[in-house]
């Protein structure tokens, strides 16, 4: 049985979307990729060695994507930490509430 696949295109699309920080679209692309993997696995007999290869490719893509996202999160956190606090952002002690007769004294 020969099943057509577009996993290569979908994995490339996923990598591109993650690299461009389009995470909602990347999540949709990941769902598409998973559906393509399921279809490809369903088309292979259980004893076919290509199933292991499919599993290895999928695991590699998922790990690569996970590491890239974590790297971006760490980079963004470092950038936020380097930002100097705004000189306008001054926080003062709140004045305790007073009644009218206390403020006149």
Segments in 1-105 forming alpha helices (H):
7-19, 23-43, 50-82, 100-104
Calpha distance 78→81 (Å, rounded)? 5
Calpha distance 54→41 (Å, rounded)? 8
- DSSP annotation of 83 reads S
Calpha distance 103→100 (Å, rounded)? 5
pLDDT in tens, 12-71: 999 999 999 999 999 999 999 999 999 999 999 989 999 999 999 999 999 999 999 999
Query: 26: burial class by Cβ within 10 Å (0-12, 13-18, 19+)?
Result: buried
Q: pLDDT band for position 97 (50/70/90)?
A: confident
């Amino acid at each position: 049985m020969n099943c057509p696949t577009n996993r290569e295109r979908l994995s490339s699309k996923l990598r591109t979307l993650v690299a461009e920080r389009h995470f909602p679209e990347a999540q949709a692309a990941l769902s598409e990729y998973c559906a393509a993997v399921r279809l490809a696995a369903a088309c292979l007999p259980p004893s076919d060695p290509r199933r292991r290869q499919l599993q290895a490719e999928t695991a590699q893509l998922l790990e690569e994507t996970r590491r890239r996202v974590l790297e971006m999160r760490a980079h963004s956190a470092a950038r936020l930490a380097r930002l100097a606090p705004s000189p306008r952002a001054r926080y003062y002690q709140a004045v305790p509430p007073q009644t009218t007769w206390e403020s006149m004294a």
